Amino acid sequence: DAEVLKLLVDRESERRSIATINEEQEHNESKESIICVDTPIVDEAKKESYIWPDEAVLLFLEIYRNKEPTFALGLKRYNKIWLEIANEMKMANYNVTVVQCQNKMSGLKRTYKNISDSNKKSGNHSSSWAFYSAMDSIFGEKAWVAPISTASSDDLCFPSTSSTLSEISVDEQKPKKRRVESILESFITEMKKDKQKQRDEREQRRVEKKAEKEEGQKQIVQEQWKMHQDKVKLQQSLIEVLSKVVERKKEEVTEEVIMVYNKLQTSLSITMLCDSQSETLLIIIDTSD
């Protein structure tokens, strides 16, 4: 009977999908429990309520998208990453807690998974849900959103559950491994770029510091040379002033000597000899009379 066969196929497909999803969820839960031992368990009765505007949800998804590689690497505890997400939301004036962020993401994932499963069953690839595109861009390639496998009535071969799950697990591990390797390569590349940037900045600071030091030394030399020139000019000016004083004194002394000579010449026999080379004035008085 075709209807019976179709019913059996649908049930088997649904069973496989549920088994795959459960296995993936158990794997994620065990991984989170290992990496983040102190992640708080949310008590459903104590969930904090918060009304999320659409703008807040879109911002929340964008922040989560940026933090997703950090979740995948496992280098940080999950609760610390969620705390960073909550802090970024608070910086945008959305006062949400870590628990509220975790609960919101869980609800978004459930809604997205239900819509995705419904679309894959009906063959429809669109949704009126406002956040479907954003969620699909983040989680569209995740294993827990894998397409629901269907079988036709022409091929009724039902392999054992264990072998099927094993094959699915192996197939899923390959893209996961490639994604992790890609994330690690991107992370290492970014680290290298950051280190190179730091080295370049240190070198630039060293060159600038050296240039400033050389400029400072040059200014010191210029100031010392200017001080020396000023000192030389001052000394030269002092010498000129002293020379003028000496010349003035010589002129005054010479005039006094001439006046005395003229007075005495009338009464005494005086001979005045002047040595121009030694600038010596010799006066001879004859007292023979």
281 — pLDDT class (breaks 50, 70, 90): low
* Calpha distance 85→23 (Å, rounded): 28
157 lies in some domain? no
User: How many domains does the structure of the chain reveal?
Assistant: 2
272 lies in some domain? no
Q: Domain containing 91: what range?
A: 50-144
If asked whether residues 183 and 117 sit together in one domain, one would say no
16 — pLDDT class (breaks 50, 70, 90): low
If asked whether residues 114 and 55 sit together in one domain, one would say yes
289 lies in some domain? no
Lowest mean pLDDT among 12-21, 124-133, 184-193, 271-280: 271-280
214 lies in some domain? yes
If asked whether residues 60 and 139 sit together in one domain, one would say yes
If asked whether residues 112 and 186 sit together in one domain, one would say no
Task: Give residue 87's identity as a one-letter amino acid code.
Answer: N
If asked whether residues 182 and 117 sit together in one domain, one would say no
Asked whether the predicted pLDDT for residue 77 surpasses 80, the reply is: yes
pLDDT in tens, 212-266: 999 888 889 998 998 988 888 888 888 888 888 887 777 776 777 677 666 665 6
Q: Would you tell me how many other CB atoms lie within 10 Å of the CB of residue 96?
A: 20
167 lies in some domain? no
User: What value does the mean pLDDT of the chain take?
Assistant: 73
If asked whether residues 55 and 137 sit together in one domain, one would say yes
The whole-number pLDDT of residue 159 equals 43
Task: Please state the separation of Cα 11 from the chain's center in Å.
Answer: 54
37 lies in some domain? no
If asked whether residues 113 and 62 sit together in one domain, one would say yes
The whole-number pLDDT of residue 100 equals 94
Residues above pLDDT 70, as percent of the chain: 57
124 lies in some domain? yes
The whole-number pLDDT of residue 38 equals 42
DSSP per residue over 230-267, as a string? Answer: HHHHHHHHHHHHHHHHHHHHHHHHHHHHHHHHHHHHTT
Mean pLDDT value across residues 64-71: 89
Asked whether the predicted pLDDT for residue 2 surpasses 90, the reply is: no
If asked whether residues 241 and 190 sit together in one domain, one would say yes
Asked whether the predicted pLDDT for residue 8 surpasses 80, the reply is: no
Mean pLDDT value across residues 165-169: 48
pLDDT in tens, 101-150: 999 999 999 998 988 888 878 766 666 788 888 888 888 887 777 655 54
If asked whether residues 138 and 189 sit together in one domain, one would say no
pLDDT in tens, 37-52: 444 444 443 455 789 9
Among 1, 23, 20, residue whose Cα is nearest residue 12: 20
106 lies in some domain? yes
Task: Mark residue 178 as left, alpha or beta (left: phi above 0; alpha: psi -120 to 50; beta: remaining).
Answer: alpha
